[in-house]
Structure 1
Amino acid sequence: MTQENAQDSFSAALQVPPRRTLPQPALVLALVAILASGGVWLYQQNAMEQLKADLASQLANSNKLQQELRTNHAQMAQIQQQLQVQVQTQANKLAESESRQEALTGMYDMLTRTESVHTLAELEQMLTFASQQLQLSGDVNLALTGLSNIDQQLSRLNRPELISVRQAITRDMDTLKAMPYLDVVGVTAKLDSLISKVDTLPLMIDEGHDQPVQHHPSTQNDGPVQAFLLEIWHEFKQLIQIRRMDKPEAALLTPEQAFFLRENIKLRLLSARSSILQRNEATFRTDVAAIKRYLNDYFDVQMPATQGALQMIKQLEDQQIRVALPDLSASLTAVRSARTTAERVKP
């Protein structure tokens, strides 16, 4: 059974199937579908070719851009390298310039510091001398001139650490300017005038300094004999003069003593002039009082010359001599402190 069935199946397989006949519309549709498929395929092929061409063009452009970018990158790298070299060169020059600037600054500081030390030492000596002269002679104008010169030298240095010194000097200058003024030149001129007049002042015992006796000339009615007698009488009266002297010691002066009296008055006047320069009020008052006493005791106070000398003596007595003079210790301390600080600073 099995074998028969197998033969039947083989026979059936060898048989040619009968041909089917397709209807006419179906054939048309099949052809249309085939044509449409072919058109779509052709369109796709064209689109693919166009796409490939576009892609190829874009790829070429991209390659060209990449080449340009690589070229630009190489140029930029070269320019950057040149810039780095230039920057490094400029940095080296800047470092060298800064090093030179630091060296110059150090040298300038050292020179100016040395100049400041020398200048401060000179100013300290000037201030010491001005302070001593102020205390000895009392010349305020000389001290002001010295302080003004010192302030000008400090202004030329123009260093910030010297501001305190200039401030101290300015305070001392203001203190000196506020002091009362003593006319040393005027007082000295009066003393010199008295010295020149001492030799011409009339003593009480001097002759010829009394007022001349007024005698009336003879009238026309007087005869020649009467006029002759009047002339003889006038000459006789000139031989003998009677004067009242309340101080007998003045009449006992010899010519030699009168000479030494005048010289003594001159020495007193010179001593008073020296005292006014030294602001020594006690000695000045003593000399002026002695001169006034000499004039009143030995000279004719009725004569205009003696009265003028006594008026000058009165003016000298009223002159204020003693003035509390300040010292310049503040300026000296400031200058010494600045000099010590400048010497301690290391270059």
Structure 2
Amino acid sequence: MNEQQSTPESNLPEPKPQATYQSAPASSSPYISAPDGTAVLRRRQRLLTLLLLLVIAALVAQWWFSSRELHGLRAEVAQRLQTGDNSSNELKGVLKLVQESTKELQAKVSVLDSKQAESQSQQLALEQMYQDLNKNRDDWALSEIEEVLSTADQQLELAGNVQGALIALQNADKSLSRSDKPQFIAIRRALARDIDRLKALPSVDIAGIAVRLDSVIGQVDSMPLLIDEKPVESASQPRAAQPARTAKAAADKPAGAEASAWSTWLAGAQDTWQSMSTEMWAEIKQLVRIREVQTPEAILLSPSQAYFVRENLKLRLLNARLALLSRNEFAFRNDLSAAQDSIAKYFDTRAKQVQNTQSLLKQVQGSNLAIQMPTLAESINAVRNYKARQ
């Protein structure tokens, strides 16, 4: 383009040196001698550069907003995963408790099976002994008494069956009383001492305590939680009291004074306003209720967590029942204490049903299970010593 413009200028006559010397400063400025097309091109380049910068800024802003949203989503997902992990950990804890309880029950069942196997082996040995014994009536009776006393001693040690042991001792004494032999006096004395020891034991109503625990377990599902609390209905003052107040005000006036219509209307208006203001104040007081809770997590329970709270309470009470039947006083009292703490923490203790349940658990916890069961070793040894001397 510059070449095309310089071509016509080459045909012109050469300027004088003086004119060239004077025009040199004017041609030294590129902005003045530059053609119009170059200026337009530069403006377009500047506009394109500006548009490119704007696009880059928009892309950077969009990337920044996208990164912020992605960060927020990651935080929310992490929080939900943490909540799920906490719930799964609680469920694992419950399952672990159930597994431990199952293992304990299996251990107890295995002990009972071993005792039963031992009893069966003793029964087989007794049958074999019956076949080897002579037809002597006294020897047969003593062998039978020894077996009955051994079985009663095992029941007394394992299950605390005091009544069964008493019946076995009394039947053995009655069987020996049919014989007039003086050799049985030592055995009967041992039986009498064992009977006195069993009768001196304090009685424990195991069946009654178990029935009370079953009753409490049945009431767990209907007991109100703290999150189940409903607003109390307003107890406004009955309107029947207004005529009584009016009649009382009329009786206070002198008997001879006659009330005017204005005073009567004014008294009625005052009574109406007082009753309406009392009812309105009672309703306003029910709008806002302030209650102090020692355990805020009890108010924030979800429906699934409330279900697990009730099931954990049932498991505690069932464990206490098993400890009662096995006469494990330490586990019995620990499970009852844990159940009472759970009720006080998560349930509405102002409800009458919850209060009745707490009082019932206190009565059950007051039962004494720490009873040292005696053995029937004296009577069994007396029978065996007599048989050894024969």
Same fold flag (TM > 0.5): yes
State whether structure 2 residue 345 is matched by structure 1 residue 297.
yes
Root mean square deviation of aligned Cα: 3.2
Pairing 1:157-172 to 2, within 5 Å after superposition: 157-172=179-194
Match of 2:202 among 161, 165, 180: 180
Match of 2:379 among 331, 341, 346: 331
Counterpart position of 2:66: none
Structure 1 residue 159 displacement after superposition:
3.5
Which residue, out of 252, 270, 274, partners 2:300? 252
Q: Is 1:127 aligned to 2:149, yes or no?
A: yes
Structure 2 residue identity aligned to 1:338? Y
The alpha-carbon distance between structure 1 residues 263 and 150, as it changes in their structure 2 partners (threshold 3 A), is: farther
**Higher Rg of the two aligned structures:** 1
Kindly state the Cα deviation for residue 298 of structure 1 after the two structures are TM-superposed: 0.7
CA contact (8 A) 1:138 1:277 kept: no
Query: Could you say which residue in structure 1 is the equivalent of 2:97?
Result: none
The reply on whether 1:314 has 2:389 as its aligned counterpart is no
Q: Partner of 1:51 in structure 2? A: none
Query: In 1, distance between residues paired with 2:201 and 2:147?
Result: 24
CA contact (8 A) 2:186 2:382 kept: yes
Kept in 2, the 8 Å contact 1:135–1:325? The answer is: yes
Q: Distance in 1 between matches of 2:293 and 2:200?
A: 51
Q: Which amino acid aligns with 1:306?
A: V
TM-aligned CA distance change 1:265 to 1:156, over 3 Å: farther
The letter for the 1-side match of 2:235 is: Q
Which residue number corresponds to residue 102 of structure 2?
A: none
Distance 2:289 2:185 in 1: 79
The 2-side partners of 1:146 and 1:200 are apart by 45
2:25 is aligned to none
TM-score, structure 2 normalization: 0.50
State the match for 1:153 in structure 2: 175
**Compared with structure 1, are the counterparts of its residues 114 and 264 closer, same or farther at alpha carbon in structure 2 (3 Å cutoff)?**
farther
- 1:136 counterpart residue number: 158
* Kept after mapping to 2: 8 A contact 1:137/1:277: yes
**CA distance 1:122–1:254, change in 2 (3 Å):** farther
Point out where structure 1 has 5 or more consecutive residues left out of the alignment.
1-110, 222-226, 343-347
Q: Structure 1 residue 241: deviation in Å?
A: 7.3
Contact map agreement 1:154 1:166 (CA 8 A) in 2: yes
Counterparts of 1:1-347 in structure 2, within 5 Å, are: 114-208=136-230, 210-215=231-236, 243-342=291-390
Q: Which amino acid aligns with 2:355?
A: Q
Contact 2:224–2:354, Cα closer than 8 Å, also in 1: yes
Classify the secondary structure of the residue corresponding to 1:205.
Answer: helix
Unaligned residue ranges in structure 2 (runs of 5+): 1-132, 243-267, 270-275
Between the aligned partners of 1:196 and 1:157, the Cα distance in structure 2 is 54
Amino acid corresponding to residue 312 of structure 1 in structure 2: L
Return the letter of the residue paired with 1:154: L
> Using the alignment, how far apart are the partners of 1:339 and 1:256 within structure 2?
67
Task: Please list the CA deviations of residues 227-261 of structure 1 after superposition, one character each: whole Å capped at 9, or x if unmatched.
Answer: 9xx99xx8xx88x9765432112123222232232
Cα deviation code 1:174-197 (max 9, x no counterpart): 111112222323322322221222
Q: State the Cα distance separating 1:167 from its structure 2 match.
A: 1.3
Deviation of residue 291 (structure 1)? 0.8
Q: 1:136 to 1:212 in 2, by over 3 A?
A: farther
CA shift in 2, pair 1:197/1:307, >3 Å: same
* Distance across 2 between alignment mates of 1:167 and 1:279: 30
CA distance in 1, matches of 2:144, 2:301: 59
Q: How many residue pairs align between the two structures?
A: 223
Q: Which amino acid aligns with 1:329?
A: A
Give the Cα–Cα distance (whole angstroms) in 1 for the partners of residues 229 and 349 of structure 2.
Answer: 15
Q: Distance in 2 between matches of 1:126 and 1:267?
A: 38
Q: Deviations over 1:155-178 (max 9, x none)?
A: 234443222211111110011111
Tell whether the 8 Å contact from 2:229 to 2:348 is kept in structure 1 after alignment: no
